Structure 1
Amino acid sequence: MNNFLSVIMPAYNPHQGRLAQVIEALQIQTLPTNQWELLIIDNNSPAPIQIDLSWHPHHRILIENKQGLTHARLKGFSEAKGELLLLVDDDNILEPNYLKHIVSIFESDQKLGAIGGKSLPLFEATPPTWLPEFYGNLALRDLGESILTASKTNAYPTCAPIGAGMGIRKLALANYIKKYNFGTGLIGDRTGKSLASGGDNDIVLEILAAGWRVGYFPDLTLQHIIPKQRIEIGYLARLVQNTNESWVAVLEKHSINPWQPIPKWSVPLRKLKAWLAHQAWKNSIHYLKWKASCGLFDGLSAIEKKHAKT
């Protein structure tokens, strides 16, 4: 179906109230429902997902028993009928014209492989004043009102779309899906309680490597629901550490890692030195910056171990 859009929403044990907000935002999209389908991927939830989708003539709830966000997305890719895809998380509230803009942007530029826009916070509790420094870790961003695009370079483009609200031309996924089918170094993403990430970046880099362009379009705006527990220091500490460790793995896979591997034995000493350098005992910001450094060391030591085996 030419320019038919498939909305792919992975979900694991979703919060019913937040999911209802997400579905309500989809229900008022200005793109007619005969021009898009809704695929909810139940990623092995403890109980079946219950949500009224009778308003949409093209909806399906699919089951992916293999745990993990990446596997759920791949299930959606394989089942999607559209030439255009949209990744929506079960805590993303899209602006009413989001789907219409996705189709329009792809129609206007046939060389675009992946696009995204603004991801603005909708906090369920008052956040600490210092939190904006860690918005990127929470999949929040606003790059302004200008359109930004990028092609393949030796660094990860700052305007590359994030997973929340990412639009993808299905044709641009061919190499990514091929590598998955052959089991060649797929970067996994969040699984159960793990906060590891990198799946979004892996998709973007595979699309760029295939010769497509990616871009940021400010007309694409969503609200990302941030529950109270996600702004607590314990969660954020795990998040920044896991994110940095995963980031190293992604960059290494795509041969754009700017850092040298480090031996495993040196990691405890490096973490101790970083504790002192960041003065991690002073406040939350200093502590989280230290945890980010710990993630970097963990990632670089994993590379060293891998190199030692080859």
Structure 2
Amino acid sequence: MYLSVIIPTRNRAKYLNKALESITNQTFPPEEFEVIVVDNGSTDNTKEIVNSFKKCIINLKYFYENTPGLHVGRHKGLKESTAEILVYADDDIEASPTWLEGIYESFASNEVVLVGGKNLPNFESEPPTWIKKMWNQKMQYGNVLGYLSILDFGDETKEISPFYVFGCNFSIRKAVLEAAGGFHPDGMPQELIKFRGDGESYVSRYILEKGYKTVYNPKASVYHLVSNSRMTLEYFEQRAYNQGISDSFSEIRSSKEQDASALTFSGKASIILPNIINILGPLIYKMFKIFDLLKDPESMIIKSKINQAYKKGYRYHQNEVRTDNQLLKWVMKENYID
């Protein structure tokens, strides 16, 4: 077995169906990969959808895990995997036929530890003008819009920053992920949002600090659903709020402070955005660079609202950690695999 495809999911059976359907059309030999679906507490017909593919996908496994948290599903997949290359995908992607072939080819070099490809937008409907403008702006490698986890860096294989391999299409050597201590907490139900962490961005930072090689291969590409609900300012504000929580989490861990009373916030809200590239990478920083390029009145209003939402999320998490010692212990855990 060369590849273990891991798909965490929760109550999104209709999207999962399309993802699994796309996997049945792979050019990579079906006997050389397994697909692990981790059901993170679904109450819909997710299990039935998975079972309907048992005859089409030779090595298909289903696991139910009721503990909330995207990192829980990701780690369950890691523990159940049999391959040395882990291919993490979201339940709302549709993989190109050469997806797994491209991933396998990229890992032929022992120097490569992380692989991504195009995450092309599958817009549910015509996107608003401001999203089109953001998506069409050329950045370092090409087009990227982190809040929607979409990017297109062209048709040539190239070495890239690990921060440009998003979780919806994230392939990594198992040994490297284990050495990093696994993923940090990521997606959480909103009522548990204070337990959110910096997800795969932590792993990307680990890879960068170790000097390991990350490759973009256009064959290893997917279409990522951009639903109507995601094409709203409210969604972007929620993403910014959550990102503020993630960055507070990262900053607290990097400070190595065990005493919540020692954590200070005063003044940081005004300087955090220009320095965010030093904390996590492109997600927020590139978002605001795009707005700076656009400079039209609508974009400036949107930027201001997202900025405020980000600061609100950051402040919320800093205050929660100050007053909840158990939360501080959660933030400072050595790893989250167990």
TM range (shorter): 0.7 to 0.9
Provide the secondary structure at the position in 1 that maps to 2:87. Answer: strand
Query: Does 1:22 pair with 2:19?
Result: yes
1:116-155 map, 5 Å: 116-132=116-132, 133=134, 135-149=145-159
Which residue does 1:287 correspond to in 2?
A: 302
Q: How does 1:82-161 map to 2 (within 5 A)?
A: 82-107=83-108, 109-132=109-132, 133=134, 135-149=145-159, 157=161, 160-161=164-165
Task: Indicate yes or no: 2:12 matched with 1:6.
Answer: no
Structure 1 equivalent of residue 31 of structure 2: 34
Please state how far the C-alpha of 1:301 moved relative to its aligned partner.
7.5
Cα offset, 1:236, TM superposition: 2.1
Following the alignment from structure 2 to structure 1, what is the Cα–Cα distance between the partners of residues 20 and 9? 12
Q: Relative to structure 1, is the Cα distance of residues 14 and 294 closer, same or farther in structure 2, using a 3 angstrom cutoff?
A: closer
Give, in whole Å, the separation in 2 of the partners of 1:146 and 1:245: 35
By how many angstroms is 1:283 displaced? 3.9
Residues 102/254 of structure 1: CA separation in 2 closer, same or farther (3 Å cut): farther
- Quote the residue 2:140 is aligned against: none
Structure 2 partner of 1:183: none
Structure 2 unaligned runs (5+)? 136-144, 256-262, 273-291, 329-338
**Which residue does the alignment assign to 2:170?**
166
% identity of equivalent residues: 25
Contact 2:102/2:218 (<8 A) preserved: no
| Contact 1:237/1:288 (<8 A) preserved | no
How far is the alpha carbon of 1:79 from its aligned partner? 0.6
Task: Normalising by structure 2, report the TM-score.
Answer: 0.72
Distance 1:40 1:301, change over 3 A: closer
Q: Greater share of helix residues, 1 or 2?
A: 2
Shift of 1:294: 3.7
CA distance in 2, matches of 1:200, 1:159: 9
Partner Cα separation in structure 2 for residue 211 and residue 252 of structure 1 = 24
> What's the CA shift for 1:303?
5.4
> Does residue 1:229 correspond to 2:229, yes or no?
yes
Residue 41 of structure 1 deviates from its aligned partner by 0.4
Query: 1:304 Cα deviation (Å)?
Result: 8.6
Q: What letter corresponds to residue 67 of structure 2 in structure 1?
A: K
**How many angstroms apart in 2 are the aligned matches of 1:267 and 1:168?**
34
Instruction: Note if contact 2:242-2:313 (Cα within 8 Å) is conserved in structure 1.
Output: no
Are residues 300 and 205 of structure 1, via their aligned partners in 2, closer, same or farther at CA, if it must alter by over 3 Å?
farther
- Structure 1 unmatched runs, 5+: 151-156, 181-185, 271-277
Name the residue aligned to 1:275. none
**CA deviation profile, 1:224-263 (whole Å, cap 9, x unmatched):** 01111111222222112222431353366457xxxx9632
Note if contact 2:237-2:310 (Cα within 8 Å) is conserved in structure 1. no
Measured after TM superposition, the shift of residue 306 of structure 1 is 6.1
1: distance between equivalents of 2:106 and 2:4? 15
> For 2:311 and 2:158, how far apart are their aligned partners in 1?
28
CA–CA distance in structure 1, aligned partners of residues 167 and 72 of structure 2:
14
Mapped contact 2:162–2:204 kept (Cα < 8 A): no
The answer to whether the 8 A contact 2:114-2:162 is kept is: no
Q: Deviations over 1:127-149 (max 9, x none)?
A: 10111427211101112334332
1:88 maps to a residue whose letter is: A
SS of 1:67's equivalent in the other structure is: coil
Letter in 2 for 1:83: E
Distance 1:82 1:298, change over 3 A: same
| Whole-angstrom distance in 2 between the partners of 1:214 and 1:104 | 13
2: distance between equivalents of 1:198 and 1:267? Answer: 18
303 and 118 in structure 1: CA distance in 2 versus 1, 3 angstrom threshold: same
**Equivalent residue number for residue 265 of structure 2:** 262
- Distance 1:307-1:206 versus aligned 2 partners, 3 A rule: farther
Q: Which moved more, 1:201-210 or 1:215-224?
A: 201-210
CA 1:97 to 1:254, structure 2 compared with 1: closer, same or farther past 3 Å?
Answer: farther
Give TM-score scaled by structure 1 length: 0.77
For the 8 Å contact 1:149–1:214, the answer to whether it is kept is yes
- 1:244–1:299 CA contact under 8 A, matched in 2: yes
